[in-house]
Homo-oligomer: A and B are copies of this chain.
Amino acid sequence: MDLKDIKALYRFLKSTDIVELEVEDSRGRVRVKRAEAVSEEAVRIVTPAAPVEEKKEREEAKEEKSNIKTITSPMVGTFYRAPSPDAPPFVELGSKVKSGQVVCIIEAMKIMNEVESEFTGKVVAVLVENGQPVEYGEPLFNVEVE
């Protein structure tokens, strides 16, 4: 932080009613004191960084609200988009799928397991490359439900 920064900061502060400011880094400490102002809006205190779990919850919440559903892998194995190397994929990006329709194969212990869509809608994302290994619960396709 040099004089230029400090001047810029001061110009900004002058335009506000902040009477005290304290910043410290990295990722630590912010302190702001304003001259008394009057406003009836509620105060919201967001505590910082509740990591993974909260983010997940938020994502889930978003999913629920939106009409994008995810088809996940029901087992560990290798992901195949088509029944055989020369056959066309079960579904393409943009394909319409129906609930119960086979969308891919997971090979596990030399057995080809068909994976069916639980949703009816349009495939809006293919999340795994053909022939790649997948773990249990790994997202495979996003489907936009009507």
Residues of A within 8 A of B (CB): 1, 3, 5-10, 12-45, 47-49
Q: Please provide the 10 A-B residue pairs with the shortest distance between their CB atoms, ordered closest to farther.
A: A23-B30, A22-B31, A21-B32, A17-B39, A20-B33, A35-B36, A24-B29, A19-B34, A25-B28, A25-B27
Give the distance to chain B from A27, nearest Cβ to Cβ, in Å: 5
Number of copies of chain A assembled together = 2
* Nearest-neighbor residue (CB-CB) of A9 within chain B: B3
Q: Is the CB of A17 within 8 A of B3?
A: no
**B residues less than 8 Å from A45 (CB atoms):** 30, 32, 45
Give the distance to chain B from A137, nearest Cβ to Cβ, in Å: 28
Give the distance to chain B from A10, nearest Cβ to Cβ, in Å: 6
Complex Cα distance, B26 from A24, in Å, reads 10
Q: Is the CB of B9 within 8 A of A37?
A: no
Known: A6-B21, A20-B34, A27-B47. 10 other contacts (CB 8 A): A1-B25, A10-B32, A13-B34, A16-B42, A16-B43, A19-B37, A26-B48, A30-B45, A32-B45, A33-B33
Q: Is the CB of A18 within 8 A of B43?
A: yes
